[in-house]
Amino acid sequence: MHVRILASFETRVERLMQEKRLGRKTAEKVLRKHAEEIGGYLKYAFKLDRGSPYNFDLVINTDKMSVELGVELVVAAAQAEMYRMCSESAMTTMAQLSLSKKIQAELLRHNINRNFLHIEVFDPGIVSVRGFPKDEAEQARIIEVIQAEPGVTEVRSEFGNAPVHGIFTT
């Protein structure tokens, strides 16, 4: 769930001045710098415009409501069925990505060239590996390394012959 908690610039300046015992000019400068950094990060990392309410599931304006009510709204929304399902889906995706990265690390640790390999993890623990190992012995090692990784229940492989490089015909 994506939540945006906002307040007017003036409210944020007042809060920062009280919380950090800053002067007005310093508080304004800190807030402008922070807003610039966060906006740049969101735009770069997630291609998000933080100013658009359409990028958020819930927008809370603390100029209009108390922080306590905002917290209650976030908790209630997070407990809604549709967000629990989204969370489960996100957790499954993260688990699959994590297993994929662990497999790649193990292949690297076993000095197996991953340049011509493509690894996909399907739920639950089904791993697909495709590519061009140099020979049958390396194919067997790849499958052995993947099968040894905790969480892997099945390995599906599709290997081909490595492409020949540097040979040109006229």
- The pLDDT tens digits for 81-138 are 777 666 677 777 778 888 988 998 899 889 888 878 999 998 779 999 999 888 899 9
Report the predicted TM-score, pTM, of the whole model to 2 decimal places. 0.49
Residues 4 and 58 sit within 8 Å (Cβ to Cβ):
yes
DSSP code of residue 40? H
Phi, psi of 119 (to 5 degrees): -115, 130
Burial classification of residue 50, based on how many CB atoms lie within 10 Å of its CB (0-12 exposed, 13-18 middle, 19 or more buried): middle
Per-residue pLDDT of 31-80, as tens digits, reads 999 888 888 887 877 777 888 888 888 999 999 998 889 888 988 888 88
Give me the mean pLDDT over the 149-159 stretch. Answer: 94
CATH number of the structural domain 92-159: 3.30.1340.30
- CATH 3.30.1180.10 applies to domain 3-79: no
pLDDT of residue 14: 95
If 0-12 CB within 10 Å is exposed, 13-18 middle and 19+ buried, where does residue 94 land? exposed
- Domain ranges, ordered by start, for the chain: 3-79, 92-159
